[in-house]
Amino acid sequence: MANIISAVPSGAREDTWSRLLERVGQERDENAFAQLFAHFAPLIKGFCLGNVNASFPADAADEIVQEVLFKVWQKAPSYDATKAAASTWIYTVMRNCRIDVMRRNKRTITDSGVIEIEDIWDEAADDQAYVYLQQASNEIIIQNAFKQLPTEQRVVLTQVYMQGKTHQQISTETGLPLGTVKSRVRIALKKMQVLIDVASKKRSDTTGDGQ
Amino acid sequence: MINHHPDENLLAEYSSGSLAWALSLSVCAHIQLCPHCRQKVSALNKIGGVILNTSAAETCAPNSFENLMQRIHQKTTTEKAAVEKTEGEQATKIAAAEGLNNAYSHDPLLNRLPKIIEKLLPINGKLKWQRVSSALKTARLTAGQNEYEVAFQRISSGGKIVEHDHRGLEITLVLQGSFSDEQGIYSRGDFLVRTPGEIHRPTATLNQDCLCLSVVAAPVKVTGFIGHFINPFLSIKPA
């Protein structure tokens, strides 16, 4: 199965994961879940281990993989493939797991109702619906743009996302002034935007669709 | 028309989950009002997805999948009971929310709040407004953290607030009405970041009261009557 998936063009492949995730959500399809697990579990583990300073402790990486994919199974019914690709959605589930871990022992009593992580970081916050393949090719365009960034900028985005660090923490750990960290992140994002715009324009010129 | 937005850095920290809870809450309230930033955040989330996708794959412990499925199946057997329980809780919650709406509906300033802000309202229906000056009232909100003071600031129409400094990072989100200071005019959805040393003197516009959410880094406490008197923003306690 894995071979078949990797043999199809990359744009369609992303689409495959999204369709599998939908089947998990709507039909509680364990076979589809097994395929998602085989693909994403090693990536999630790699992502966790890339976080050297461990808000995820390295020895607990396997446990975190379990926790994230358990949540993926639980939350899959709310997944909407027209709003996010599987990888993005799984990323947000993983991020929320991390916030949960970081937040344990920090909670204080409120006089309002309990505010859940999902209230602040809603996995379905994107209200803009795309058609399937378009969503998938957006992901591919972003992925290519990320790969084209100069190392320095790719590194800083990795620190922000993978290591889950604030700009201040990155500054403290690397010795770079806070202003430099901030401008690197901004330049990286701007550069990605330019690369994405160019690629999207190319695509709409060839396919004739306006988006 | 929203003219003031969180910057790219703040949105990236929010999207990556590293931004402090109370600050994230204010960003969330802004994006619930601002489609532009909502779209930006969803683009930033995609970068997270890309970084996950390009991570070096690491082999998982043997039987990981089997163990997970076992846990899922165990869960499923208890799920039915849980669902019933949740449904019950849900009904209670909905009833409570309706009660809340009634409790707060008499105050027009509290209508049309972003969803996340509605959740901050005390469930006993009692928001405690404290008078800071003739123009300014403040009500503390508990947000389940202790790094930042989260509060409503309510400026009466045309009211001026004493010139004040900021001792720590302060985020202001306009929820209703508008106010102005030396640098501009701000209305619903505008998101302002002030850093220490920025002195300003806000004034609400004449025709309407103004409601803002403020999130302020917990300041070093100044004791004594004078400190309390001079700067109302120093009397705050994180909650």
Check CB contact under 8 Å for A182 and B9: yes
- Among B64, B238, B31, CA closest to B142: B238
Of B42, B119, B141, which is closest to A119 when you measure between CB atoms? B119
Predicted local distance difference test score (pLDDT) of residue B238:
45
Predicted local distance difference test score (pLDDT) of residue B12:
95
Predicted local distance difference test score (pLDDT) of residue B90:
67
Check CB contact under 8 Å for A50 and B69: no
The CA distance from B110 to B123, in Å, is 14
Predicted local distance difference test score (pLDDT) of residue B171:
94
Share of chain B above pLDDT 70, in %: 79
CB burial readout B207-238, b (16+ within 10 A) else e: ebbbbbbbbbbbbeeeeeeeeeeebbbbbbeb
Average pLDDT in chain B: 82
**For residues B154 and A124, which has the higher predicted lDDT (pLDDT)?**
B154
How confident is the model over B88-131, as pLDDT tens digits?
666 666 666 666 666 788 888 898 899 999 999 988 888 899 99
The residue type at A28: R
Cα B26 to chain centroid distance, Å, stands at 3
Q: Which positions 184-203 of B are in contact with A (Cβ < 8 Å)?
A: none
* pLDDT at position A5 over 50: no
Model confidence at A36, pLDDT cuts 50, 70, 90, reads very high
Please give the DSSP secondary-structure letter assigned to residue B200: B
Model confidence at A100, pLDDT cuts 50, 70, 90, reads confident
How confident is the model over B177-205, as pLDDT tens digits?
999 988 889 999 999 998 877 777 788 88
Instruction: Report yes or no: B72 at the A interface, CB cutoff 8 Å.
Output: yes
Model confidence at A203, pLDDT cuts 50, 70, 90, reads confident
The residue type at B150: V
Query: Could you give all domains of chain A from N- to C-terminal order, each with its CATH number?
Result: 1-108+126-133 (1.10.1740.10), 149-211 (1.10.10.10)
Predicted local distance difference test score (pLDDT) of residue B228:
41
Closest CA in chain B for residue A162: B51
Per-residue pLDDT, averaged over A44-73, amounts to: 78
- Among A141, A44, A143, CA closest to A98: A44
How confident is the model over B62-99, as pLDDT tens digits?
889 999 999 999 877 766 666 666 666 666 666 666 66
The CA distance from B212 to B28, in Å, is 15
Model confidence at A43, pLDDT cuts 50, 70, 90, reads very high
Tokens linked to A54: 């461990």
Q: Which positions 144-163 of B are in contact with A (Cβ < 8 Å)?
A: 144-146
Cα B186 to chain centroid distance, Å, stands at 17
Which residues in chain A touch residue B54, judged by CB atoms under 8 angstroms apart?
143, 146-147
- B1-59+107-239 CATH, one of 3.40.50.2000, 3.40.50.150, 2.60.120.10, 3.10.20.90: 2.60.120.10
The CA distance from A37 to B55, in Å, is 15
The sign of the dihedral angle between the CA atoms of B142, A99, B115, B200 is positive
Check CB contact under 8 Å for A96 and B17: yes
Q: Which positions 99-118 of A are in contact with B (Cβ < 8 Å)?
A: 99, 103, 106-115
Quick count: other Cβ atoms within 10 Å of Cβ A208?
A: 7
Least confident of A16-25, B58-67, B204-213, B222-231: B222-231
Model confidence at A201, pLDDT cuts 50, 70, 90, reads confident
Q: How is chain B split into domains, by residue range?
A: 1-59+107-239
Q: Which positions 21-60 of A are in contact with B (Cβ < 8 Å)?
A: 30, 34, 37-38, 40-47, 49-50
Instruction: Report yes or no: A162 at the B interface, CB cutoff 8 Å.
Output: yes
Helix (H) or strand (E) holding B76: helix B64-105
Quick count: other Cβ atoms within 10 Å of Cβ B167?
A: 18
Per-residue pLDDT, averaged over A110-122, amounts to: 84
Tokens linked to B90: 């849900």
Check CB contact under 8 Å for B56 and A84: no
- Among B205, B217, B237, CA closest to B138: B237
**Minimum distance, in Å, between the CA of residue B82 and any CA atom of chain A:** 13
* pLDDT at position B150 over 50: yes
Q: What number of H helices and E strands is found in chain A?
A: 10, 0
